[in-house]
A and B are shown apart, each in its own frame.
Chain A
Amino acid sequence: MSVDATSRPQSRRTTRSVLIGGLLLAFLLAGFVSGYASGAPDGLEKVAGDQGFLESGRDSGFAGSPLADYAVRGIDDERLAGGLAGVIGVLLTLAVGTLLFWAVTRLARRRPASAPPGRE
């Protein structure tokens, strides 16, 4: 008797529904919950301030970017500007990540010499 995971379809969710569910959760976290995140300095920044090396840090060269500091420039409502920046960031990361991993797996297929022996 096979007790392979795929033999219990009633408890299975399709990969597509996992993708959609995960994306919705990421949107919720970056777009909404992030508005309630702590504004206190994070561990590194706090230690840098306490120990006296915070001032050695320089502003990012991208401080003028329209999404700098996780806020869409030009939107006055802080929660909206931050939430929108979060949603854009989730989409951007998803797109760049998916494209990168898709491209490298395709490239790996084209170079069978670099694939582990016994595969394909």
Chain B
Amino acid sequence: MGRTAVHIPDGFIDAPTSIAFGVAAVAGLGYCLRRGSAELDERAAPLAGLTAAFVFAGQMLNFPVAAGTSGHLLGGVLAAVLVGPWIGATCLAVVLLLQALFFADGGLTALGLSTVNMSFVGALGGYLVYRGVLRVLPQRRASVPIAAAVAAALSVPLAAASFVLQFALGGTVEDLSLTAVLAAMVGVHVLIGIGEAVITFLTVGLVMSSRPDLVHGARGVLRRERAAETAAVRSTA
């Protein structure tokens, strides 16, 4: 036997809730593609595809977090910082679709639920956190992997909380304590978030050290760095 599945299976959440989130996922992804295609260069398509492939690879690497429990990369902040939030969110959806269709990981009816949790909460929401964290850090390129790591750490329990919301709306097992489910989900995913932060820090740091110009989330910082250097050169001239 190979690895066990890591995404929401069919059956956890009832059909009406799953369908509602499916519709929201399709509509949201349409919007992401519209926004993303406007800012993505045709030649950058392979980089976006590689980002999706890297997230796929990262999600295979379950690391132990507590006794009898493992965690794996979500990859939302990683993808959003590298290729921008819109394309990054779409990368996550591509990974989820292929995992469900070819690797029997995650239910087909649960695809909308997982897409909302990982693409919209993980990548889009995580990117908002990234921008907020980056704003309070020194405007240097070294701040980029740090802000990405902090956002990555927070994005995992946020996505877990989003699942609990879905469970509250349409969980098929009744009479469960929602606060207990929420506490358990957020608790374990805070730990998984540490691993998420490490992987995101290392990967974003690696690309920043070789080609910072390819990192979408570093654009503002690089622009301000250049402006500051130009101003310094002018003042000494």
Chain A interface residue count, Cβ-Cβ cutoff 8 angstroms = 78
User: Contacts A69-B104, A101-B37, A105-B42 given; 6 further ones with Cβ under 8 A?
Assistant: A26-B54, A30-B56, A60-B104, A71-B2, A108-B37, A114-B34
Q: Does B31 contact A (CB under 8 A)?
A: no
- Across chains A and B, the number of contacting residue pairs, with CB separation under 8 Å, is 272
Contact A47/B188 with A18-B210, A93-B53 known, Cβ cut-off 8 Å: yes
Contact B184 A47 (CB under 8 A): yes
Where chain B touches its partner, the secondary structure class is: helix
Contact A82/B3 with A26-B54, A57-B10 known, Cβ cut-off 8 Å: yes
Name the B residues within 8 Å of A62 (CB-CB).
100-104, 108
Q: Does B138 contact A (CB under 8 A)?
A: no
Where chain A touches its partner, the secondary structure class is: helix
Q: How far is the CB of B33 from chain A (nearest CB, A)?
A: 5
Contact A86 B60 (CB under 8 A): yes
Q: How far is the CB of A114 from chain B (nearest CB, A)?
A: 7
Residue of B nearest to A33 (CB): B61
Name the A residues within 8 Å of B46 (CB-CB).
19, 94, 98
Contact A89 B61 (CB under 8 A): no
